[in-house]
């Protein structure tokens, strides 16, 4: 059916939207001529901007203009006008399934979470045990008879993003021939963060023993953390926190010779860009949210005294992240730097 119209109701976080890209690719491969739109939170729209597999991004601003009942009714009316034939509901919420139902979309595929089975025309079975979120989303494709062929992430950037990074690095004394390690010390909650002292010592080791120049990357909110790490170092890094958007961050990850990151959105962007990546995991499970598919990556997760995943954001002990020693990360860095770069 060449004129099939498909709506993908996506999830709300940068990393999770990256996890959805293998699903989007599988859908496009099955329906090369379909019109495919994605309903997306505004903070996540840059993740899918420029993705050639999607025809349209529809913003669902649930904390803004669509927060009220009137706002939701306007969104429903918009979706009705677009006359979608089928919706894949990646998000687990009842509200999103209800919006799709009220928009009159005939085929509605999702998981029967939040008592929403009655709103769906086809339910995927909930997987047992720890399932990576990529596979969790791909199971919805399988429920519709689509067999995915590739579970690697996708993230699309433009030439101007690469130029922006080259100019930014040049301004900070890093030339195109210099090798760089990108350090991502942030995290959306503190227990996911490796201690800043460790990042500082590791960065000095990398600069002294491998000749890599250090770039500390993150969001604007990570500037203070980056400055604290810099103050603990004897060598001085370049700080790009708050100076790049998501696409420019993707270009920085593509430029990097090594990335060391906590379990964060930037870590998933690095994985999508096939960077040589060391991912540091403590309270979260790499089986559920770790790098996935093709790419040169290593996951370090050392702590086994607590149940993982653990979502106790009030935990101040941070023993799970402290269990990862500087030597563990440096050893993996030397190994991964010595592998052939097939990018």
Class of domain 5-143: alpha beta
Residue 339: its pLDDT value, please?
66
Residue 343: its pLDDT value, please?
40
Q: Does 16 have pLDDT greater than 50?
A: yes
Residue 342: its pLDDT value, please?
41
CA distance 12 to 31: 25
Residue-wise pLDDT tens digits, 118-151: 999 999 998 888 899 999 999 999 999 999 999 9
CA distance 48 to 70: 27
CA distance 306 to 59: 39
Percent of the chain whose pLDDT exceeds 70: 98
Class of domain 159-337: alpha beta
Q: How far apart, in Å, are the Cα atoms of 239 and each of 51, 196, 217, 218, 256?
A: 29, 14, 6, 9, 14
Residue-wise pLDDT tens digits, 90-122: 999 999 999 999 999 999 999 998 899 999 999
Residue-wise pLDDT tens digits, 214-250: 999 999 999 999 999 999 999 999 999 999 999 999 9
Cis peptide preceding 194, ω within 30 of 0 = no
Q: What is the mean pLDDT of the chain?
A: 93
Same fold across 5-143 and 159-337:
yes
Instruction: Please tell me the least confidently modeled range out of 114-118, 157-161, 318-322.
Output: 318-322
Residue-wise pLDDT tens digits, 264-318: 999 999 999 999 999 999 998 999 999 988 778 999 998 777 788 887 878 877 8
Residue 269: its pLDDT value, please?
95
Residue 23: its pLDDT value, please?
97
- Which among 115, 120, 64, 60 has a CA at the least distance from the CA of 89? 120
319 versus 136: the higher-pLDDT residue is 136
Instruction: Please tell me the least confidently modeled range out of 150-154, 182-186, 189-193, 337-341.
Output: 337-341
Could you tell me where the DSSP H helices lie in the chain?
14-19, 21-30, 45-48, 69-82, 94-102, 133-143, 159-171, 196-210, 223-232, 246-255, 265-272, 286-289, 319-322, 326-337
Q: What pTM does this model have? A: 0.90
Residue 170: its pLDDT value, please?
97
Residue 316: its pLDDT value, please?
78
Q: Does 341 have pLDDT greater than 60?
A: no
- Provide the residue ranges of all domains of the chain, joining segments of one domain with +: 5-143, 159-337
């Amino acid at each position: 059916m060449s004129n099939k119209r498909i709506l993908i109701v996506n999830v709300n976080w940068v990393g999770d939207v990256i996890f959805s890209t293998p699903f989007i690719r599988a859908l496009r491969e099955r329906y090369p001529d379909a019109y495919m739109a994605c309903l997306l939170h505004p903070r996540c729209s840059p993740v899918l901007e420029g993705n050639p597999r999607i025809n349209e991004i529809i913003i669902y601003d649930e904390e803004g203009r669509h927060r009220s009942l009137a706002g939701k009714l306007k969104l429903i009316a918009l979706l009705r006008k677009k006359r979608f034939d089928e919706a894949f509901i990646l998000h687990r919420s009842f509200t999103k399934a209800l919006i799709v139902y009220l928009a009159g979309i005939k085929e509605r595929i999702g998981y029967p979470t939040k008592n929403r089975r009655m709103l769906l025309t086809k339910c995927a079975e909930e997987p047992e045990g720890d399932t990576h979120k990529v596979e969790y989303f791909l199971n919805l494709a399988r429920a519709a008879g689509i067999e995915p062929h590739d579970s690697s992430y996708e993230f699309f950037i433009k030439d101007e993003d690469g130029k922006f990074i080259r100019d930014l690095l040049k301004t900070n004394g890093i030339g195109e021939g210099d090798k760089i390690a990108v350090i991502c010390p942030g995290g959306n909650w503190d227990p996911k963060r490796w201690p800043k002292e460790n990042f500082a010592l590791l960065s000095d080791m990398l600069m002294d023993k491998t000749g890599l120049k250090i770039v500390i990357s993150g969001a604007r909110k990570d500037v203070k953390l980056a400055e604290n790490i810099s103050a603990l170092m004897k060598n001085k890094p370049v700080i790009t926190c708050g100076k790049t958007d998501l696409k420019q961050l993707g270009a920085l990850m593509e430029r990097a010779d090594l990335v060391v990151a906590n379990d964060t959105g930037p870590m998933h962007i690095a994985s999508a860009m096939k960077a040589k990546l060391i991912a540091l995991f403590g309270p979260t499970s790499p089986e559920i949210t770790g790098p996935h598919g093709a790419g040169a990556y290593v996951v370090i997760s050392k702590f086994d005294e607590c149940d993982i995943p653990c979502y106790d954001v009030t935990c101040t002990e941070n023993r799970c992240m402290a269990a990862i020693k500087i030597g563990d990360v440096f050893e993996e860095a030397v190994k991964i730097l010595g592998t052939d770069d097939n990018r």
